[in-house]
Chains A and B, each alone.
Chain A
Amino acid sequence: MTNDTDLRLEKAFKAYGTVKALDHVDLSVRNGELLTILGPSGSGKTTLLRVVAGFAEPDEGRVLLQERDITFLPPAKRDIGMVFQNYALFPHMNVAENVSFPLQMRNMAKVEIKKRVTWALGIVELGEYAERLPRQLSGGQQQRVAFARAIVFDPRILLLDEPFGALDRKLREQIQLEVRRLQQQLKLTSLFVTHDQEEALILSDRIAVMNAGRIEQLGTPHEIYERPINRFVADFIGISNLISGVIEGQDRSVAVVRSKDGQLFLVAADAIPTQGTNVIVLIRPERLVLLDDGAERSNRLSGTVAEVIYLGQSEKLRIDIGGGRDMLMHRQSRLGGVQLEVGSTVNIGWTPEDAHLIVEDTVGQP
């Protein structure tokens, strides 16, 4: 184990009956990073978290925390700070008592406890609320108490189990950024579990996309979004236009793909599969441009506008390109220029660099 790794799973395997919740998962969380486990429900992300926290034991494999094997160590001995989905604050204790709980369990001296609780409540800016009961606080404040309680004992790592789910949208964004800022400020190695891809993109240093007990892809938010490794990841993260086709040839670093209905598309790629390989071309909706505005692109499609959703700062278009297929397009709204209405005929296009090539053989089963 290298020194910059705080947490490592080695071939972790756990099955519930015939369902593999963890299918030989390898994962390393680096010192100080926030790594997100992202996946739909039933993907195994909660099991992974429970195995790390100590609430479940893997059937096979090991969990290492700062080079120590903790696979069978009880949760209380792991020194892991955890923020729960519903915060799990103790309703019969006030804020200060909640935050001091982990310190009391460590039989710390009273003076030290007081000092640390003051510090932690100061960090989340709740110093004046020490005497309040959790139910007298707003959702956002409760969330911050839960965070203070998770970091007050200087944990080795921090686990966050969908901690923002109960907050309304506006508050959620604010608290997310706050947690991210504190996490970076305190250099806390963090493992964050969520099913919300937007949240994952905002907060993470790296994202591990999980599906059916396996990690499909591990990478930075940018890599995950722009270079998904298979159909599952492409579908799960963001909105995707996917065109199935076959490799026809290549021109230096540009692949030529023939789609099922015979059209040719150019896709820039580092490694181009051999001729005849089944591939998927991914184009994100915001990469599409309207050629009728006067733009030039080497890949083009024409169709009719089937739906327009106006969002204020931008608009979403669904364009019927025939054969029962749609392309989704996302563009900045503007004054003037071509105004689109349902039924208008449009030409859309994109450059080879706007598209991403996925080899069909590595398709994940969603």
Chain B
Amino acid sequence: MSEWLKNTPKRKHNWGKIALGVYCTLVLTFLMLPLLVVFPISFSSARYLQFPPPGFSLQWYENYLNTPSWISATITSLQVGVGTTLLATTLGTMVAFSLVRGTYPGKAWVDRLVAAPIVVPNIIIAVAIYGLFAELKLIGSWYGVMAGHTVYAIPFVVLVVSAALRNFDVSQEHAAMGLGASRLRAIWTVTLPQIKPAIISGAFLAFITSFDELIIALFLSGSNMTLPKKMFENIISEIDPTISAVSVLQIIMVGIVLLLSQRLGAGVSPIKS
């Protein structure tokens, strides 16, 4: 028998693949474990944060709903979140267009600096804006927080939308203009509908970014608290399980937004065929 025919190779176990699976499971567990604590505590019958909870009760959810300061914080957060989403999505999309389509001096710098708000620590942005807004008497207004959050959220929109725009076939826009559309109308009727999934994803990202942002809100919101700030104050002063009830509600809210984003973020592919 020749050397070639001697050995038939056997199937090999792919140890690398197995190790990767184990690693991923560990990471996921590590990330999910806090939820296993937060959820039960929110239904606790105890008066203090105590784990495992001694009994079942909805008192903390009741407490949340019956405390005006929690409700007003929630409303403020929603207000700020929606406002931030609208502003950051509009401005971010415009920046993305300028970066992908524009030719102007300093564009390379804009391109490099556009992600700066993500890279620069939040506290620095917060302090800087605080200094400015204190002079402008914007501290304590929900729209002041919204402005601060918009600065922070714009890069997310820019990154997502400009990626889609780079993949978008510009000859579509040319075709629209050649067929009688002004530039704006071409963008509105041809480009935007096709990159809509990316814009929606960017918008949801902006919302989530704002909705659980603490540091900027801590400096800017004053007595007009957002939900994360109210939670923070609650931890410092009282520590009762209301905070875990609020956390659960917040997690559910963000979860819904993420789900929506996945659903609506799909659809017509923005990538050229």
Contact = CB atoms under 8 A, between A and B. Distances in A.
A135 B176 contact: no
Nearest to B174: A55
A75 B273 contact: no
A201 interface: no
Contact of A80 (B178, B183, B268): B178
A92 B193 contact: yes
A232 interface: no
Interface string B153-187: 00000000000000001011011111111110100
Contacts of A91: 194, 268-269, 273
Given A88-B172, A92-B193, A75 B178 contact: yes
Interface in A43-98: 53-55, 74-76, 78-82, 84-86, 88, 90-92
Interface residues of A, number: 27
Contacts of A80: 178
A78 B174 CA distance: 13
Interface in B96-142: none
Contacts of A153: 179-180
Contacts of A79: 180
A35 B179 CA distance: 21
A84 B180 contact: no
A105 B174 contact: no
B213 to A, nearest CB: 34
B188 to A, nearest CB: 11
A75 to B, nearest CB: 4
Contacts of A86: 169, 171, 272
Contacts of B273: 91, 135
A275 B190 CA distance: 64
A141 B32 CA distance: 52
State which size class the interface on B falls in: 20 to 34
Contacts of B182: 74, 76
Nearest to B178: A82
Interface string B172-212: 10111111111101000110011000000000000000000
A105 B169 CA distance: 21
A92 B175 contact: no
A149 interface: yes
Contacts of B272: 86
Contacts of B181: 76, 101, 105
A106 interface: yes
B211 to A, nearest CB: 30
A102 interface: yes
B175 A88 contact: yes
B176 A101 contact: yes
A85 B171 contact: yes
A133 B112 CA distance: 39
B179 A92 contact: no
Interface centre among B174, B178, B269 (most CB of A within 10 A): B178
Interface in B222-273: 268-269, 272-273
A101 B186 CA distance: 10
Contacts of B178: 53-55, 75-76, 78, 80-82, 159
Contacts of B175: 82, 84, 88, 90
Given A85-B171, A105-B185, A135-B273, A90 B177 contact: no
A78 B180 CA distance: 8
A267 to B, nearest CB: 47
A74 B177 contact: yes
A185 to B, nearest CB: 22
A159 B185 CA distance: 22
B194 to A, nearest CB: 6
Contacts of A92: 193-194, 268
Interface centre among A74, A76, A135, A153 (most CB of B within 10 A): A76
A56 to B, nearest CB: 11
23 contacts: A53-B174, A55-B174, A55-B178, A74-B177, A75-B178, A76-B179, A76-B182, A78-B178, A79-B180, A80-B178, A82-B179, A84-B175, A85-B171, A86-B272, A88-B172, A88-B174, A90-B172, A91-B194, A92-B193, A101-B189, A105-B176, A105-B180, A153-B179
- What 4 pairs across the A-B complex have the smallest Cβ distances? A105-B180, A88-B175, A102-B179, A75-B177
Interface of A: 53-55, 74-76, 78-82, 84-86, 88, 90-92, 101-102, 105-106, 135, 149-150, 153, 159
Interface of B: 169, 171-172, 174-183, 185, 189-190, 193-194, 268-269, 272-273
Given A88-B175, A91-B269, A105-B176, 20 more contacts: A53-B174, A53-B178, A76-B177, A76-B180, A76-B182, A80-B178, A82-B179, A86-B171, A88-B169, A90-B175, A90-B176, A91-B268, A91-B273, A92-B193, A92-B268, A102-B179, A105-B180, A105-B185, A106-B180, A153-B180
